Amino acid sequence: MDMLRCEVCLQQIVVGNCACSTSTGVDKDRQRPALRLDFAGGDLSGWHAEGEAFRGQPVRGDRFRAGQVKPKLVPLGGDYWDGPYPVGQRGEYWISTEDYLTGTLTSETFILEASSPWFTCLLGGSDVKDTCSISLLIKASESNSSRLSNSYSRIYIAKESSDFFQVFQATSRGHEMMRRVVFYAQEFVGEWVSVRISDSSISGHINVADVRFSAEAPLTLETEAGEIDPDAPVWGFADLHTHPMAHLAFGGVIFWGQPDGPVDEAMAKCVKAHGIAGTGIAGRRSSILMSFFEQIGYGINVGHLVGGYPQFDGWPRFTTLVHQQMYIDWIRRAFDGGLRLLVAHAVNNEMLANSYNGQEPYDDKSVVERQIEAMKELAARHHDWMEIAYTPAEARRIIHQNKLAIVLGVEVDSLGNWKQPQLPTEEEISAYLAHLYHDLGVRHLFPVHMADNIFSGSAIYYDLFSLVNHYLHKDYFAVEDGSAYGIEYRLQEDPGLAIDIARVTQGYNPPYRQVSGGHMNGKGLTDLGHFLLCQMMSLGMLIEIDHMSHKAVEATLDLVEQYDYPVVAGHTGFRELALKRNEETACNQKCASEGLKTALQIERIAKLGGIIGPLACQADVREVGEVIPSLQGKVRGDCAGSSKSWAQAYLYAVEKMGGRGVGFGTDTNGFAKFNAPRFGLNASYFLDYDVPGMGRDSRRRSLRREQVEAQENGVRYDESLADTHHYRFEGVLEGDVYDGLQRDVWQAIGLYKAGCDPWKSPNILNHFNRAVHFAKGFFALDDVQLERPGLLTGNEPWEQRVAFLVKTGLEPGTTERDPQPVHEMYPRVIAIWRRWEQMEGDNPPLKRCYTGERDFDINLDGVAHYGLLPDLLQDLKNVGLTHEDLVPLFRSAEDYIRTWEKCERRSRAIVESKDKW
C-alpha cells in the first residue's frame, strides 16, 4: 500500500483514506519537505525576494555598533565600548536590510499545522511606521474568503498568482534590539499560509531572525526594548575574581575601608588600623609590621600616607594592597563603563589575622558566612542596579534588565575549617557543599588557595604562601624540580622581609634550596579532592582551578574531561609569556611558575567550554608576538605592568581560547596590585621597583628610558586634572629617567593644566617651590610678566623663562635674556611638555572620575581603584586593540553564563547517570 503523511491531521495514512475530515485524500503539494524559515543555512532557501532590500541577505554575526543600538549605553564617554553589539539574533544568520533599499521577502506557501499554531519571530529596526514589517498571510480560497474578507486586508502575490489575507502584522518600532513577536494562529490551522517581510522605506531598515511556528508560546522577558528571549545573548564584560568584602577578612584589622556607606566614614583615614603614617604605631590593634606591608617601591618606602577621604593622598593607589578599592561608587562607575557580571569571592587568611591581632572568630568557615551575608546585604541596598544571580537564567535576566549580576564565590585556605590530621568523612564534605550551595547561594568555588589542604596541593609562586602553609600545617611544601614543565621560579630567592622575620619569630627554616631547578609542588589532587570535585559537578558548581598545583590542575582536567564539564581559571597568567631566568630577568617573580597556566592547559579549558580571566596586573611579561608570530606588533609590550602588559596576556588568551571565554580577573582587594600608568613618575613601574621579594630587577631596569619615551596616545578626559599635590608626581623614575628638576616640571604642568595660577594664588601649598616657578612661566601671558633674577629672587626666574619658551613654542635665543641655564634646562623641560601632550590621546573624551577632593587619571595614577576599569579599557583601545579585538571581552559576561549553563546541563546528566563516578 502507498503510505503518506497527511499534513493536516498529521497521521500516517493510505492514499485516499485520510482520517482527517478536511480531505478524503492527500494533495501532493502537501507533501513538500518542512520549510526552514530561520535562515540557518546562510541563504534565502524557501523565500522569494523582490526589489533590492534583500540582496546579500542574510547577514552573519553582529552588524551594529553598541552606540547604534543603545546610544546611552556607556554614559562615561570614550569609544572603547562602541564595538559590535548583539541585537538578540539567534544563530549565525539573520535579516538586516539597508536604509536606502526597498523590497519584499516572501516565503513559500505551506499548510499551517495543528501541532504548531504559534507564529513567532524576532523583530527590530527603524522607527518608520508601517513601512518595515513582517506579516502572516493566509491564501484566499472559496472556503475562507467570506469568513476573512470583512476582517483582513487582501494582498496580491504575483508569484503565487493569488490573493492573500494579511491576518497579522508587526512593525520594527524603532529599536535595533529585536523583540520577540508572538501570534496565536490556531483559527487558521489547515490553511495555506505564507510569511512576508517588507521594507518599503528608503530611510529605514528591518531586522528579522528566528522565524518559526511552535507548539507553545515562547517564553519572553520584559525589557526596555520590549519582550525579548530570556536566553538572548547579553553584552558586557565579566570580572571573574573580586573581593568586595575583604574588610571582613583577615580578622577585620589589616584591611582598611568599607565598600559601602557614607564615603567620609567608609573611606576615612586609615590611622586606626595602620597607625601614624602607616607605621603601625598608635593604631588600634595594629602591628609595627604594618610599616612594611604597603611599600610603594620608592622614596622612604616605610609606612604610608594615610588619607583617605577627602584628599586620598595615600590611597587608593595602583600599588595598594590593604586599602579598599571597591567602594560602591567605584563599582557603579565600572558598571556604567560596561561591567555586567561580577564574581564576588569571600576570602580570608588565618595567618594574617593572627599576626595582625585580628578580631576572633577569624577561621575560614566563620568568615565565609559573614562575607556572603554582607554581600547579599550590599546587593539588597543597591537593588536598583545590582542583584545576586543564583542561576545562569537569573544572570541573563538581571543583565537584560540593565543591572549588574553578582555571582557568589569562596576562596579560602581551609574549606570547612578542615585541616590535617582530622579528615572529614565524605558525608561531611557533601553536607558542607550542600550548605554552601543551598543555604548560602555559593556557585563558584576554589578547592584550594594559598596553602596545601586536604583536597589539593597549592601552586607555588610566592614565598609568603609557604609561610602560610607552615602556619596552618606546621609543615613545608613538598617541593620538586619542575623544569620539565617550563617552571623556573624558585622559593627562598629574595623571599622578602616577612620571611626574614618568620625565621626568627617562628623558627621557619624550609629546605627548598636543596631542590634544583624550578620549584613545583609535589602534592596533587587528593582522594578527598577527587570526591569534592565530583560533588561540585553533581551540584553544577563552577570549579576554579587557579591556585591548584600543576599536578592538581592536570588531575582535575583529566577528571572533568571524562564528563565534559567546564572549569574556570579566573585570575591567571601564562607560562609562555614569563621571562627567562637570568637571560631576560633578575627577578624571581617574573619567571615561569606553576601558578601560570601552560598553553595546553588553556586549550583544554577552551575545549571544555570553560572561561578564563587574565589577571589585571600582568606586571612584566614578554610580548605576545614572540610566542604567536601572527600577533607580532599588535600591541607593543613596551610599558611593564600597564594596559600594554595586560593586552599581551589578553591577546594570548583569546588566541588559545579560540576567540571565546576570556574576561577580566582583577583580584581587586585580594592583595594584588593593579595596572600601572604609562606616563608620569611611575611609568613602566613593574620593570623594577624597590620592594624585596617582589619587584627588584637589575636586568630590566635599563629598559626604563626606552619604555617611558615610547608611550603615546594616552587617555583624553573631558576635564583637566584637579589634584596637583606633590604625591602625584613622585615615583620610581625619580633619580633615574627623571631628575628632581624634571619631577618639578611634571607638577608645574599639572598646575598649568589644572588652572592653578601662582600669579593669582601665590600661597599654593603642598608643591615643590621650583614647580611654582615653572608654573609661573607656563601661565605668563608675555615675557614682560616674568620675574628677573635679582638679589631677592635668585636664579629661579630662569625657570620661568624656560617654561614660557616651551609653552609658546619658542626656543632659547642668543641674547642675555637666555643665558646658559636657560639653554641647559630647555631640553629637559620640553621633554616633559611633550610627554604631557602624548597623554592627551585621540579618543572621544572620557568622563573623569572624582571622589572627595581627588580626581583620578589613569595616565598618571594607573588603575588606582575599581572605578578606573573603564579608563583601562579606553587605554587598551588607545594602545592598539580594535573594537573587533575587544569583542571577546565584551562577550565575557555571556560566555561566563554559557559556561555556567553547561555546568548545570552536565550536572543533570551526571546525576541521572547510574554510574556517576
Across the range 502-515, mean pLDDT stands at 91
**Whether residue 901 has pLDDT greater than 90:** yes
The model's confidence at residue 795, banded by pLDDT at 50, 70 and 90, is low
Contact status, residue 122 vs residue 147, Cβ threshold 8 Å: no
Integer Cα distance of 62 and 884 in angstroms:
11
Across the range 16-23, mean pLDDT stands at 42
H runs (alpha helix) in 567-642: 599-608
The model's confidence at residue 510, banded by pLDDT at 50, 70 and 90, is very high
Q: Which cell numbers in the block locate residue 680?
A: 608620569
Instruction: Give the model confidence (pLDDT) of 309-355 as tens digits.
Output: 999 999 999 999 999 999 999 999 999 999 999 999 999 999 999 98
Across the range 674-692, mean pLDDT stands at 95
CB-based contacts of 838: which residues, under 8 Å, 6+ apart?
Answer: 679, 711, 712, 713, 714
Instruction: Give the model confidence (pLDDT) of 35-80 as tens digits.
Output: 789 999 999 999 999 999 999 999 999 999 999 999 999 999 999 9
pLDDT of residue 5: 41
Across the range 496-500, mean pLDDT stands at 83
Instruction: Give the model confidence (pLDDT) of 162-199 as tens digits.
Output: 999 999 999 988 899 999 999 999 999 999 999 999 99
pLDDT of residue 623: 98
Establish how many alpha carbons lie within 13 A of residue 147's alpha carbon, considering only the half-sphere containing its beta carbon: 11
Q: Which cell numbers in the block locate residue 833?
A: 611638555
Integer Cα distance of 832 and 837 in angstroms:
9
Domains within the chain, CATH numbers bracketed: 1-31 (no CATH), 32-233 (2.60.120.260), 240-269+307-677+886-897 (3.20.20.140), 680-879 (no CATH)
Q: Secondary structure of 848-898 in the HEC alphabet? A: CEEECCEEECHHHHCCCCHHHHHHHHHHHHHHCCCCCCCHHHHCHHHHHHH
Integer Cα distance of 170 and 181 in angstroms:
7
**Whether residue 9 has pLDDT greater than 60:** no
Instruction: Give the model confidence (pLDDT) of 751-793 as tens digits.
Output: 999 999 999 887 665 666 789 999 999 999 999 999 988 766 6
Establish how many alpha carbons lie within 13 A of residue 295's alpha carbon, considering only the half-sphere containing its beta carbon: 21
Helices (H) and strands (E) in the chain, counts: 24, 30
pLDDT of residue 766: 60
Across the range 803-823, mean pLDDT stands at 95
pLDDT of residue 844: 98
**Whether residue 519 has pLDDT greater than 60:** yes
Instruction: Give the model confidence (pLDDT) of 354-391 as tens digits.
Output: 988 889 999 999 999 999 999 999 999 999 999 999 99
Integer Cα distance of 684 and 676 in angstroms:
7
pLDDT of residue 210: 96
**Whether residue 14 has pLDDT greater than 80:** no
Which one has a higher pLDDT value, 915 or 446?
A: 446
Establish how many alpha carbons lie within 13 A of residue 458's alpha carbon, considering only the half-sphere containing its beta carbon: 27
H runs (alpha helix) in 300-391: 328-336, 350-355, 364-381
pLDDT of residue 24: 39
**Whether residue 147 has pLDDT greater than 50:** yes
The model's confidence at residue 34, banded by pLDDT at 50, 70 and 90, is low
Omega of the bond leading into 421 within 30 degrees of 0 (cis): yes
pLDDT of residue 22: 44
For the entire predicted model, the pTM comes to 0.94
**Whether residue 161 has pLDDT greater than 80:** yes
Averaged pLDDT of the chain: 92
Lowest pLDDT segment from 51-65, 195-209, 382-396, 689-703: 689-703
Share of the chain above pLDDT 90, in %: 84
Integer Cα distance of 372 and 346 in angstroms:
7
Q: Which residues of 643-681 are buried (b: 16+ CB within 10 A; e: fewer)?
A: bbbbbbbbbbbbbbbeebbbbbbbbbbbbbbbbbbbbbb
State the pairing for strand pair 519-521/479-481: antiparallel
pLDDT of residue 12: 39
